[in-house]
Amino acid sequence: MTWQAQALPADHPPVKSGKIGVLLVNLGTPTAPTPKAVKAYLAEFLADRRVVEIPRLLWWPILHGIILNVRPKKSAHAYSQVWTPDGSPLSAITMRQAQGLADRFGESVMVDWAMRYGQPSIPAQLQRLMDAGCERIVLAPLYPQYCGATTATVFDKAADALRAMRWQPALRVLPAYHDDPLHIGALAQDIGRQLDALDFVPEVLLLSFHGMPERTLHKGDPYHCQCLKTARLLTAALNCPDIRIRPTFQSRFGSAKWLEPATDAVLAEEAAKGTKRLAIAAPGFSADCLETLEELAIRGREQFIEEGGEQFAALSCLNDGPIGMDMLEALVQREMAGWI
């Protein structure tokens, strides 16, 4: 007897098994604003070879001998200034983004969240989705711009977890969305709304992205180019010719040369040349965190005012607001195409 393939009738419902899971992932954060918790978090984060690319033989004594003894105290103080009743802003907002997405998708899709460093971990959350019956999972690193030190490490960690599984889920990964019209449109709408609500008209708007060592650009990491493309498209979409818009890079760490211009250097330069009214947005961060709430909104403001500026506004990230959630829903929905 010969076997004959038979096409399903055109009106046959899709043949699919298992639920769909979505895992939102952001960088990571300490569990408390204390030197001990910050030390544990930084020890994991700064041990990742994709984050610090210095040979281990050189890096280990610096990390364990100096950085992990000095930085946790300083960073814990910074975290304590922005800590919320729901914990670190980054985890609180990521959790709300997951809840918001779950409400929008309904019962057919399970949404959860994880931190790349710290808790809840990617392996634990993947297992949780699988235990709940998810056989198809969308992994969504919430970094608009791709970087080896961020986006790639999310996949590394998920792949490590999958490597240990006999029965793996099907996995799709949300690509970087730095130039996606959904992202640029959401940023323009949300930043435009916040600019309109200010009680002053800024002369300058800084678009501050997290920095990276400059050598990563020369080694081929697309991060720098993607940041500049986001800035260029956003500038066009904002369409406000009266405001000078400048991309900058913040959070320099260590002694190597980082991407320029540095946000603090540009704040100094603008104040020195007489700029009095300045706003700053952070379109490289999907959620407010230490880097936006402390480094920009607190220290950036202090610096600009001390150096002669008069009015300063740090704008919020898209977070779990309606504009940001509409964008996230559409981006994730697109990755699920054919699955539901």
Ligand X SMILES: C=CC1=C(C)c2cc3[nH]c(cc4nc(cc5[nH]c(cc1n2)c(C)c5CCC(=O)O)C(CCC(=O)O)=C4C)c(C)c3C=C
Question: What number of other Cβ atoms are within 10 A of residue 112's Cβ?
Answer: 23
What is the C-alpha separation between 320 and 328, in angstroms, rounded?
9
Work out what residue 24 binds among Fe ion, ligand X, none; the CB cut-off runs from 5 to 8 Å by kind. none
Q: How far is the CB of 56 from ligand X (least distance, A)?
A: 14
In the chain, how many H helices and how many E strands? 13, 8
| Residue linked to tokens 């590394």 | 156
Tokens of 28: 């990571």
Among 31, 99, 251, 333, binds Fe ion (CB under 5 A): 251
Among 52, 68, 184, 231, binds ligand X (CB under 6 A): 52
Residue 250 as a binder of ligand X (CB under 6 A): the answer is no
Residue 290 as a binder of ligand X (CB under 6 A): the answer is yes
Please name which of 229, 114, 138, 141 lies closest in space to residue 181, comparing C-alpha atoms.
229
Greatest CA separation found in the chain? 89
Which residues make Cβ contacts (< 8 Å) with residue 85, sequence separation at least 6?
none
Work out what residue 334 binds among Fe ion, ligand X, none; the CB cut-off runs from 5 to 8 Å by kind. none
Among 253, 269, 303, 308, binds ligand X (CB under 6 A): 253
77 is in an annotated binding site: no
33, amino acid identity = P
100, amino acid identity = G
For 284, list phi and psi in degrees, rounded to 5.
-100, 0
The pattern of x and - marking residues 182 through 221 that bind ligand X according to CB under 6 A reads ----------------------------x-x---------
Q: Give the footprint of ligand X on residues 219-248 (CB under 6 A).
A: 223
State the residues that interact with Fe ion by CB under 5 A. 251, 291, 295
State the residues that interact with ligand X by CB under 6 A. 27, 29, 42, 51-52, 71, 75, 88, 90, 143, 147, 149-150, 210, 212, 223, 251, 253, 284-285, 289-291
